[in-house]
Amino acid sequence: MTPLLADRVAIVTGAGKGLGRAHALALARYGAKVVVNDLDTHAANTVCAEIKSTGGEALAHCANVQDLPRVEAMVSETIARWGRVDILVNNAGILRDKTFAKIDLADFRLVLDVHLMGSVHCTHAVWSHMRERGYGRIIFTTSSSGLYGNFGQSAYSAAKMGLVGLMQTLALEGARYGIHVNCLAPSAATQMTDSLFTPEDLAALAPDHVSPAVVALASAHAPNKQIVLAGAGSFEQAHVTMTQGAVLGDQADTAESILANWRRIGERVNEVVPATGFEQYQHEIARARAHSLEKK
Ligand SMILES: NC(=O)c1ccc[n+]([C@@H]2O[C@H](COP(=O)([O-])OP(=O)(O)OC[C@H]3O[C@@H](n4cnc5c(N)ncnc54)[C@H](O)[C@@H]3O)[C@@H](O)[C@H]2O)c1
């Protein structure tokens, strides 16, 4: 049987260690040629050698994802070598955890620069190429910290939810060109999270258990505009939903009315996942019209 990713060309950022390494190995196992990107040249070369030792094709590249010219050079070198880029896994990341009261704003910016702008650089560098070819699979690595919050991770959460917003719009802009864009929120025991878990949980949280989700999102059958959660072999989805809400009018006492109606406004029965941001406007106008008709 032809492997799921036969002849595909993938770039995985931050692939020298942890999750990125597991993703690179998994993509290669499924037949992809893989650019193993990492700041750490030794780590990138080691993963490259691992892929080649099992008969795969790999190329190490130590571009810092913060450095747009280096990222563009990485993409050009990949195209020169293998003719194209089909898959981009934006995975490179760092932590600078501190409460918002204590965080140095230079660290806050650094976290945004690596996670958010690093992903923007890599994606921008492949975007017109994928559009011209009419095919692309892009994965952004978000986090439960961004989706749900985590004490002491304001910068990281902002960057990770920024990636969800980026995905929501690029998924719309890329769809007509065959580019599918999705987010992955992994849970894994890596140097980033090692100190948080018991030895038993650490074993269950091997990065290898996350990578099948990356292979699925990198495949021709990938969905578009989804947030996939993965850890310990369990897979979930997260959605940004909109409740039906309540029309409360525009009287002077509306603020009091909002406070009195929190439960109605937040009632989750019949909540929807809007396909685009414009659906909020349409929903509200339709609700307001229906409300004024009811009053007549
Ligand atoms: N481990 C988890 O449970 C978890 C949970 C949610 C999200 N994530 C995300 O998954 C991704 C991978 O996390 P991990 O746990 O494997 O981390 P890790 O620290 O083990 O690996 C990150 C890799 O990225 C590389 N890197 C860092 N900055 C870079 C840069 N500027 N340019 C290129 N490479 C760079 C590092 O050298 C390292 O090899 C990150 O985006 C992280 O935020 C991890």
What's the pLDDT score for residue 198? 87
Q: Do residues 150 and 26 share a domain?
A: yes
CA of 91 to the centre of ligand 1 (A): 6
Whether the model pTM is above 0.95: yes
Q: Catalytic site residues?
A: 156
What's the pLDDT score for residue 195? 77
Length of the chain: 296
69 pLDDT above the threshold of 90: yes
Q: Do residues 162 and 223 share a domain?
A: yes
Q: Do residues 288 and 227 share a domain?
A: no
User: Per-residue pLDDT tens for 112-141?
Assistant: 999 999 999 999 999 999 999 999 999 999
Residue that wins the pLDDT comparison between 145 and 296: 145
Q: Do residues 17 and 147 share a domain?
A: yes
Taking CB atoms and a 6 Å cutoff, what residues make up the pocket around ligand 1? 13-14, 16-20, 37-40, 43, 64-66, 91-94, 114, 118, 141, 143, 186-188, 190-193
50 pLDDT above the threshold of 80: yes
Q: Residue 7 is part of which domain span?
A: 3-238
User: Per-residue pLDDT tens for 128-174?
Assistant: 999 999 999 999 999 999 999 999 999 999 999 999 999 999 999 99
User: Per-residue pLDDT tens for 241-292?
Assistant: 999 999 997 776 889 999 999 999 999 999 999 999 999 999 999 999 998 8
Residue closest by Cα to atom 24 of ligand 1:
14
Q: Do residues 111 and 198 share a domain?
A: yes
Query: What atom in ligand 1 is closest to the CA of residue 43?
Result: 39
243 falls within a domain: no
Q: Do residues 103 and 212 share a domain?
A: yes
Query: What atom in ligand 1 is closest to the CA of residue 160?
Result: 43
Residue closest by Cα to atom 38 of ligand 1:
14
Residue closest by Cα to atom 36 of ligand 1:
14
Show which of 212, 238, 264 is a domain's final residue: 238
Show which of 195, 211, 238 is a domain's final residue: 238
Distances, alpha carbon 88 to alpha carbons 123, 163, 179, 253, in Å: 7, 14, 11, 51
Q: Do residues 131 and 64 share a domain?
A: yes
What's the pLDDT score for residue 294? 83
149 falls within a domain: yes
Q: Do residues 156 and 187 share a domain?
A: yes
CA of 170 to the centre of ligand 1 (A): 22
80 falls within a domain: yes
> What contacts 260, CB < 8 A, 6 or more positions away?
none
Q: What is the mean pLDDT of the chain?
A: 96
What's the pLDDT score for residue 125? 99
CA of 269 to the centre of ligand 1 (A): 37
Q: Are 15 and 47 in contact (CB under 8 A)?
A: yes
Amino acid type, 30: Y
C-alpha radius of gyration, the chain, whole number: 21
CA of 163 to the centre of ligand 1 (A): 14
